[in-house]
Amino acid sequence: MTAAFTPQRWAIEITHLLNAVFGVDRFPIDIPMVAKEYTAQRFPDDPIISVAGDNLPNFDGALFRAPAGRKGWGIIYNNAISSRGRINFTLAHEFGHYLLHRLAHPDGFYCGEQDVVQWNSPLGQIEHQANVFAANFLMPLDDFRRQIDARAKIDLEMISHCADRYRVSLIAAVLRWLDYTERRAVLVVSRDGFILWARSSTPALRTGAFFRTSTGPIEIPAASLPVKLDLLIDGRASIDHGEGVWFKEPVREMTVFAEQYDFAISLLLLDDATPFESLDAEPELDTYDRIMPEERRREW
């Protein structure tokens, strides 16, 4: 990879090409087609020649060199995965490894074997770069902004529309929205009454609205929707909390229970005020990429 070709740069180059060929209303992306056609043109001596599902125990996906006597690379995803959004992100993630890392790692990658990947380790940085490419490739920021304005007051239907448009998971869509929104919002993923990980928008971070999960388990409020699952209809619900539930200010909580993964996804929306003094926030990568098991990280 040349110095100029960051994960974002690769995604932008491919996005511009797809826009020119198919127009801006071209989603969801046919990842196998794009990966094979693009690399055949861009790297004719070293293209991606195969994208397929297969039995891949303990892994979500893999990038591997073609067998002796053939040129090129293959991408495999675990065909036991039932979530189409998770499969798509896995394919895009492995495509990112091909573009960014294949020259330095000629033996390829098997992704999903690590229970925990430290985001600031060499492996963690490589995995993070592949994730960044996948998010930018699958959900180009200019198109996402056309779906949801940076100042919009969102609801679950708006986020679900984006998840369907790009054929990604709900978590992936929320994380992409958090990248650019001017609203104060916090995503919380919880299980069994405790926060697994959390991510705040930049405006929320600046006002101290975040959870420092790296210091140890954080219990979710007793009044929150993941605790009161009986309030959910078809696995989702919204509720307005007063001060002192999630934060020292009122919060609108929108929660979806992902039964197949046995965790709850809660999006906390705060108003535009600055109700309490800003705190020292963690680095934005820290709370997600450092502590999430590999199979959960592939979900976004």
Please give the residue range of the domain that contains residue 192: 144-297
pLDDT tens-digit series, residues 94-143: 999 999 999 999 989 888 744 334 555 677 889 999 999 999 999 999 99
For the chain, state the CA radius of gyration: 20
Residue 170: C-alpha distances to residues 85, 211, 264, 280, 300 (Å): 8, 20, 11, 28, 8
177 & 209 share domain = yes
Last residue of a domain, one of 138, 171, 200: 138
Q: How confident is the model at residue 274 (pLDDT cuts 50, 70, 90)?
A: low
Q: Report the domain count for the chain.
A: 2
What pLDDT shows up at residue 281?
Answer: 46
64 & 44 share domain = yes
Last residue of a domain, one of 76, 103, 138: 138
pLDDT tens-digit series, residues 7-29: 999 999 999 999 999 999 999 99
Evaluate whether 123 touches 113 at the Cβ level (below 8 Å): no
Q: What is the CATH number of the domain that holds 90?
A: 1.10.10
The pairs formed by 292-297 with CB atoms below 8 angstroms and a separation of 24 or more are 292/196, 292/197, 293/114, 293/115, 293/116, 294/60, 294/111, 294/112, 294/113, 294/114, 294/115, 294/116, 294/117, 294/127, 295/60, 295/112, 296/196, 296/261, 297/117, 297/127, 297/131
What pLDDT shows up at residue 119?
Answer: 53
| CA–CA gap between residue 15 and residue 13 (Å, rounded) | 5
Does residue 172 sit within a domain? yes
User: Tell me, what DSSP letter sits at residue 287?
Assistant: I
Higher pLDDT: 230 or 294? It is: 230
127 & 200 share domain = no
196 & 293 share domain = yes
82 & 156 share domain = no
Does residue 56 sit within a domain? yes
Q: Which of 113, 115, 69, 274 is nearest to 184 (CA)?
A: 274
Percent of the chain with pLDDT over 70: 86
| CA–CA gap between residue 225 and residue 257 (Å, rounded) | 9
Last residue of a domain, one of 81, 114, 138: 138
pLDDT tens-digit series, residues 230-271: 888 889 999 999 999 999 999 999 999 986 678 999 999 999
Element (H, E) at 257: strand 251-258
217 & 92 share domain = no
152 & 289 share domain = yes
Does residue 1 sit within a domain? no
The pairs formed by 17-22 with CB atoms below 8 angstroms and a separation of 24 or more are none
